[in-house]
Amino acid sequence: MSQRILQALNVLGFALVLTLNTLANALPINGMNTGEVSALYPNLFVPAGFTFSIWGIIYLLLLGFVIFQFRKPAIVQRMGPWFFLSCLFNASWIPAWHYLLPVLSLFIMLGLLGSLILIYQRVYAAPAIAEKGFRWWVQLPFSVYLGWITVATIANVTAVLVHFGWNGWGINATVWTVAMIAVATGMGLWFTWRQSDIFYALVVVWALVGIIGGRNAETAEMGYSAIIITAAVGIGMLGASVIRKSIQIRQG
């Protein structure tokens, strides 16, 4: 596929994402905004509403990438059609979610996650393309995007389980939530040290802050303290890891 076609598809795909996400809450689609649909699948992992403001940052960063791609055609060739496909997954997730099809939405989310992983691998294995602006308008957008979609995938899986009335094999919901927080924290630590990617970790920190905020805003229960403590420990571990890695990167 030619460079110009890929660039055009990337622009069209991103425009489609912005349009569907705007309509989802402006209309709203199926009479409910995205947050109201989420409320139909109550669980302890979903973060507070303010946390989702990160989408504004993600879309600004992706806009920067869409513009930057015209300056460096090699980026487009290396990435191939995967950004356009990620846009299709993102846009198609909206109607699936709003029309209360959580299983379909999960498969779409997994497609989005997979496409972002492939993009991430390609842009972080591209030292020859590295130049001024590459880190900020190519690597950074997809670090933040992948970090948030990782968290969103865990939340989507949880919504599907709630939809089917899964009882957690008799294990308390608090224990499962603590385990999911541990998994998210572990992913953040892995990306910090294996990929030297502090931005992915910071997104996980933001999600954990949202989980704490969400549980604090609800009626207090004894089990919530374990979730809040685990999330706080995760924030502390990731914060310390990010600081240490940042120092190492600066030193050389």
Full DSSP string of 151-189: HHHHHHHHHHHHHTT--GGG--HHHHHHHHHHHHHHHHH
So what's the pLDDT on residue 232? 93
- Asked whether residue 161 falls in the same domain as residue 177, the answer is no
So what's the pLDDT on residue 249? 76
- Asked whether residue 83 falls in the same domain as residue 187, the answer is no
- Asked whether residue 1 falls in the same domain as residue 48, the answer is yes
- Asked whether residue 140 falls in the same domain as residue 200, the answer is no
So what's the pLDDT on residue 10? 98
- Asked whether residue 215 falls in the same domain as residue 156, the answer is no
pLDDT digit string (tens) for the chain, length 252 residues: 799 999 999 999 999 999 999 999 999 999 999 999 999 999 999 999 999 999 999 999 999 999 999 988 888 999 999 999 999 999 999 999 999 999 999 999 999 999 999 999 999 876 655 567 888 999 999 999 999 999 999 999 999 999 999 888 888 888 999 999 999 999 999 999 998 899 999 999 999 999 999 888 665 555 678 888 899 999 999 999 999 888 887 876
- Asked whether residue 25 falls in the same domain as residue 149, the answer is yes
Q: What is the CA radius of gyration of the chain?
A: 19
- Is residue 238 within 8 A of residue 184, CB to CB? The reply is no
Distances (CA, A) of 117 to 99, 122, 175, 204: 27, 9, 28, 16
Domain boundary among 166, 198, 231: 166
Domain boundary among 166, 192, 225: 166
- Asked whether residue 124 falls in the same domain as residue 249, the answer is no
Domain boundary among 166, 193, 226: 166
- Asked whether residue 99 falls in the same domain as residue 12, the answer is yes
Identity (one letter) of the amino acid at 71?
R
- Asked whether residue 244 falls in the same domain as residue 130, the answer is no
- Asked whether residue 109 falls in the same domain as residue 147, the answer is yes
- Asked whether residue 76 falls in the same domain as residue 102, the answer is yes
Question: Cβ–Cβ contacts within 10 Å for residue 61, how many?
Answer: 20
- Asked whether residue 158 falls in the same domain as residue 33, the answer is yes
Which domain range does residue 47 map to? 1-166
Q: Say how many domains are in the chain.
A: 2
